[in-house]
Chain A
Amino acid sequence: QKEVEQNSGPLSVPEGAIASLNCTYSDRGSQSFFWYRQYSGKSPELIMFIYSNGDKEDGRFTAQLNKASQYVSLLIRDSQPSDSATYLCAVNLGGGFKTIFGAGTRLFVKA
Chain B
Amino acid sequence: EAGVTQFPSHSVIEKGQTVTLRCDPISGHDNLYWYRRVMGKEIKFLLHFVKESKQDESGMPNNRFLAERTGGTYSTLKVQPAELEDSGVYFCASSQYSGPNTGELFFGEGSRLTVL
Contacts and interface: CB of A to CB of B under 8 A. Distances in A.
A95 B100 contact: yes
Contacts of A43: 4, 91, 107-110
Interface stretch (B13-21, B35-43, B64-72): B35-43
Interface in A91-111: 92, 94-104
A79 to B, nearest CB: 23
B102 A32 contact: yes
B99 interface: yes
Q: Give the contact-size bracket for chain B.
A: 20 to 34
A99 B45 contact: yes
A9 B45 CA distance: 23
Given A42-B109, A43-B107, A46-B105, A94 B100 contact: yes
B42 to A, nearest CB: 4
Contact of A46 (B31, B59, B99, B104): B104
A97 B48 contact: yes
A97 B99 contact: yes
B42 A102 contact: yes
A32 B103 CA distance: 9
Interface string B68-103: 000000000000000000000001000000111110
Interface string A3-36: 0100000000000000000000000000110101
Interface string A47-68: 0010100000000000000000
| Among A32, A46, A88, A97: residue with most chain B CB under 10 A | A97
Given A43-B91, A51-B101, A101-B42, 4 more contacts: A43-B4, A43-B107, A45-B107, A97-B98
9 contacts: A32-B100, A36-B105, A43-B4, A46-B105, A95-B100, A97-B55, A97-B99, A98-B56, A103-B41
Interface of B: 4, 31, 33, 35, 40-45, 48, 50, 55-56, 58-59, 91, 98-102, 104-105, 107-110
